[in-house]
């Protein structure tokens, strides 16, 4: 009887190996993005309940925010903010909102291989968790570019996110 029970439990665990981040997922982290060993960008991300602010410090200062259904791209060099309708096209936002099916993948930590859906911007994606902490993501996008996203100083936080357009910035609505 115990053997049958263990088999049933293992079958359930194996039949639904989807990666699942706890809800609500609220964190701060430093994010380093590389491609083929070359730095693409560095910055800090705040993620709260499906909204986020990503402050890039390299290659230049820029802020990308998703708040209240709008995507804000703040360019400090040109002192402008472009506002888009948020069409949920950011891979990281979809990942953290548990939008992808996944399967287990062997690695030293807990790893998952994501299954791209019809609208995905990637062909292959591996995600590594260290406990409940997001450690890294390795992507191959639809242009065959290999991208490695490393999360450091990951801290669970509960503060709210607000984005305010800086004064004297030109606002461009791009619907």
Query: In this predicted model, what pLDDT tens digit does every residue of 48-92 receive, in sequence order?
Result: 988 899 999 999 899 999 888 888 999 999 999 999 987 766 788
Query: In this predicted model, what pLDDT tens digit does every residue of 66-78 receive, in sequence order?
Result: 888 888 999 999 9
CATH number for the domain running over 19-168: 2.50.20.10
Which DSSP state fits 36?
A: T
Domain limits of the chain? 19-168
Contacts 24+ apart (CB under 8 A), 95-100: 95/19, 95/125, 95/127, 95/137, 96/21, 96/25, 96/47, 96/50, 97/50, 98/18, 98/19, 98/20, 98/21, 100/18, 100/19, 100/125
In this prediction, residue 154 carries a pLDDT of 93
In this prediction, residue 109 carries a pLDDT of 87
Q: What is the DSSP string of 57-95?
A: EESS-EEEEEETTEEEEEETTTTEEEEEE--S--HHHHH
What is residue 47's three-state secondary structure? strand
Beta-bridged to residue 51, according to DSSP, are: 48
Which stretches of the chain drop beneath a pLDDT of 50?
Answer: 1-17
Nearest Cα residue to 125 out of 116, 83, 53, 173: 116
In this prediction, residue 20 carries a pLDDT of 66
């Amino acid at each position: 009887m115990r053997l049958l029970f263990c088999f049933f439990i293992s079958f359930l665990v194996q039949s639904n190996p989807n990666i699942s981040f706890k809800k609500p997922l609220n964190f701060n982290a430093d994010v380093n993005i590389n491609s083929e060993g070359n730095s693409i960008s560095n910055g800090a991300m705040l993620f709260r309940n499906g909204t986020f602010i990503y402050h890039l410090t390299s290659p230049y200062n820029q802020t990308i925010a998703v708040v209240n259904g709008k995507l804000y791209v703040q360019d400090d060099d040109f002192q402008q903010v472009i506002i888009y309708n948020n069409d949920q096209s950011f891979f990281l936002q979809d990942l953290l909102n548990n939008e992808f099916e996944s399967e287990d993948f062997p690695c030293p930590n807990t790893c998952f291989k994501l299954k791209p859906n019809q609208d995905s911007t990637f062909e292959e994606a591996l995600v590594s968790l260290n406990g409940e902490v997001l450690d890294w993501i390795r992507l191959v996008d639809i242009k065959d570019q290999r991208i490695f996203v490393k999360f450091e100083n990951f801290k669970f936080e509960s503060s709210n996110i607000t984005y305010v357009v800086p004064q004297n910035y030109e606002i461009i609505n791009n619907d």
